[in-house]
């Protein structure tokens, strides 16, 4: 996807994009307004929410055609409706679109409206065609015409939309194109391309991970021919205490010896890692004044003669012992060590992002991300950010009952599975055991929301880029200035 941007009123003959309310007179150009009015009266076109009407202009205005987009009723219009109305705006409407932006802004805040516009069109314009022999040309050039000066917002949203695209590309890539090694190479390439002396990257190989005694992480990698990688990115955009983004990077999850009977789409088990990288990219490119780190324990979860077994006991980086009940509860093992590492590196605020439990999908479905945490204030900051991003999160509990279950092993400090009941909370309670008392911690279970196999709102099949946008606004709300 490419979104270009410009301000000048153009004599372009490209299609004109105009938004209009159901209950308001349409005013585009005197040469065509009357005919449009007639077509509306005769119900040949309509202005219901999200309806796209293609109208040919036969030389009456410079633009050869016009897309009149229904915005529904005036009284119901808000940012969410705006986003809903733009779902069908993509490269299929034309390579270049001249947007009468103010017809979409109405009474909304222009800065916020243009940001929503770009992110939404970027989202629905995305295609994953990397491995198709016939590529889809989804280049889309948006030319905004507006009376407001929105250059900064356009640039920011454009960067964010591109970061979301990159996250989605990573998640959509199959395992045979993206191993732990290749993800580490991507992270190094990203750091280099950011070309900013405040950015550093370090990748640890298996020997170095062994030296760090990250044996919970290494346990997951035991059955794999492919080496693990620990990826550590830093961005010193401010002299504050670093915020850590810890992403689950299970490159493929077969379940291990607790083999999954159905493992399709488990290439997406690194969506947390991809989201952390996307948020990092957006934060740096938009020059946020935050001190940020990304930590990813990247490995696949596979089997050979060496693989981890149920009943094995692992010792995590912080020396806690873990009884393996299921080798398919591998994400929390990699995250346990990643969380320890992030805190050792000085992160006093940590957000982990993980496709962690099927139970979370059962509880919240595919449009709501599960959220856990230990600090009300930080969580409400996060919810604030989620509203700007138009991404839904729902807080779930870590109760005493589930903590007792996690600590109920007869042979080790912790067990890695608490069974069916409260599955998402069980995973969170496990992670909580690796959080130090003075660390503010948020855990996001994106198992349902990161990758759509049955999309229902015109999204494309596959990766969604959730929760990159929310993470970005959360970081922005944490800026030092």
Interacting span for Zn ion (CB under 5 A) from 324-332, 336-344, 378-386, 462-470: 324-332
Q: How many Å separate Cα 149 from the centre of its chain?
A: 28
Please give the biggest Cα pair distance in the chain.
82
How many Å apart are CA 218 and CA 341, to the nearest integer?
14
How many Å apart are CA 106 and CA 115, to the nearest integer?
14
Which residues of this protein are in contact with Mn ion, per CB under 5 A?
A: 253, 328, 330
How many Å apart are CA 217 and CA 3, to the nearest integer?
39
**In the complex, what is the shortest distance from the CB of residue 355 to ligand BES, in angstroms, rounded to a whole number?**
4
Closest Cα partner for 390 from 63, 54, 124?
A: 124
Q: For the sheet with 65-70, list strands across it.
A: 3-4, 140-145, 96-100, 16-20, 65-70, 52-56
**In the complex, what is the shortest distance from the CB of residue 261 to ligand BES, in angstroms, rounded to a whole number?**
11
Residue keyed to tokens 């190094």:
188
Specify which residues 248 forms β-bridges with.
297
> 179-213: buried (b, 16+ CB within 10 Å) or exposed (e) per residue?
bbbbbbebbeebbeebeeeebebebbeeeebeebb
**In the complex, what is the shortest distance from the CB of residue 167 to Zn ion, in angstroms, rounded to a whole number?**
18
Binding-site partner at residue 417 among Zn ion, Mn ion, ligand BES, none, CB < 5 to 8 Å by type? ligand BES
Which residues of this protein are in contact with ligand BES, per CB under 6 A?
A: 253, 269, 326, 328-331, 355-359, 361, 417, 423, 447
Q: Which is nearer to ligand BES, 15 or 423 (CB)?
A: 423
Binding-site partner at residue 182 among Mn ion, ligand BES, Zn ion, none, CB < 5 to 8 Å by type? none
Does position 354 interact with Zn ion (CB under 5 A)? The reply is no
Does position 250 interact with Zn ion (CB under 5 A)? The reply is yes
Q: Is 260 a catalytic residue?
A: yes
Q: Residue from 169, 269, 392, 445 that binds Zn ion (CB under 5 A)? A: 269
Q: Which is nearer to Mn ion, 324 or 371 (CB)?
A: 324
The angle subtended at Cα 475 by Cα 472 and Cα 478, nearest 5°, is 155
How many Å apart are CA 239 and CA 337, to the nearest integer?
26
Catalytic pick among 222, 332, 381, 403: 332
Where would I find the H helices in 345-399?
A: 358-364, 376-389
Here's the x/- map for Zn ion, 140-159, by CB under 5 A: it reads as: --------------------
Catalytic pick among 73, 260, 320, 407: 260
Q: How many Å separate Cα 429 from the centre of its chain?
A: 24
Q: Residue from 72, 247, 278, 331 that binds Zn ion (CB under 5 A)? A: 331
Q: Is 198 a catalytic residue?
A: no
**In the complex, what is the shortest distance from the CB of residue 268 to Mn ion, in angstroms, rounded to a whole number?**
12
- What residues line the site for Zn ion (CB under 5 A)? 250, 253, 269, 331
Q: Which residues are catalytic?
A: 260, 332
């Amino acid at each position: 996807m490419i979104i270009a941007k410009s301000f000048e009123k153009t004599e372009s003959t490209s299609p004109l994009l105009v938004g209009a309310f159901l209950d308001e007179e349409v005013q585009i150009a005197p040469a065509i307004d009357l005919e449009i009015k007639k077509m509306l009266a005769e119900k040949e076109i309509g202005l219901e929410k999200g309806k796209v009407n293609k109208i040919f202009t036969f030389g009456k205005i410079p633009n050869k055609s016009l897309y009149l987009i229904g915005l529904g009723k005036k009284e119901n219009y808000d940012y969410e409706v705006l986003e809903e109305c733009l779902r069908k705006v993509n490269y299929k409407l034309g390579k270049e679109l001249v947007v009468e932006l103010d017809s979409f802004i109405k009474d909304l805040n222009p800065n916020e409206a243009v940001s929503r516009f770009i992110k939404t069109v970027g989202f629905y314009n995305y295609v994953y065609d990397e491995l198709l022999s016939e590529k889809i040309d989804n280049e889309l050039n948006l030319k905004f015409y507006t009376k407001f000066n929105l250059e900064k917002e356009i640039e920011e949203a454009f960067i964010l939309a591109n970061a979301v695209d990159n996250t989605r590309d990573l998640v959509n890539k199959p395992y045979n194109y993206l191993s732990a090694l290749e993800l580490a190479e991507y992270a190094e390439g990203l750091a280099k391309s950011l070309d900013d002396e405040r950015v550093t990257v370090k990748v640890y190989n298996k020997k170095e991970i062994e030296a760090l005694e990250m044996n919970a992480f290494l346990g997951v990698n035991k059955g794999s021919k492919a080496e693990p990688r620990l990826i550590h990115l830093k961005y010193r955009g401010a002299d504050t205490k670093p915020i850590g983004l810890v992403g689950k990077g299970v490159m493929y999850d077969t379940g291990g010896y607790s083999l999954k009977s159905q493992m399709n789409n488990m290439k997406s088990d690194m969506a947390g890692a991809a989201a952390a990288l996307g948020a990092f990219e957006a934060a740096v490119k938009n020059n946020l004044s935050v001190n940020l780190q990304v930590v990813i324990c990247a490995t696949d979860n596979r089997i050979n003669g060496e693989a981890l077994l149920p009943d094995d006991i692992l010792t995590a980086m912080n020396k806690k012992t873990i009884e393996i009940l299921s080798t398919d509860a591998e994400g929390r093992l990699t995250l346990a060590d990643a969380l320890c590492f992030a805190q050792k590196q000085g992160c006093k605020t940590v957000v982990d992002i993980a496709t962690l439990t099927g139970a979370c999908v059962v509880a919240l479905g595919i449009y709501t991300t599960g959220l856990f945490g230990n600090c009300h204030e930080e969580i409400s900051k996060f919810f604030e950010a989620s509203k700007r991003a138009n991404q839904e999160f729902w807080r779930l509990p870590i109760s005493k009952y589930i903590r007792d279950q996690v600590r109920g092993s007869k042979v080790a400090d912790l067990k890695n599975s608490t069974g069916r009941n409260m599955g998402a909370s069980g995973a969170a309670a496990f992670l909580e055991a690796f959080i130090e008392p003075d660390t503010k911690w948020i855990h996001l279970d994106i198992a349902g929301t990161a990758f759509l196999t049955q999309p229902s709102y015109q999204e494309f099949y596959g990766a969604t880029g959730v929760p990159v946008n929310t993470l970005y606004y959360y970081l922005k709300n944490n800026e030092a200035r």
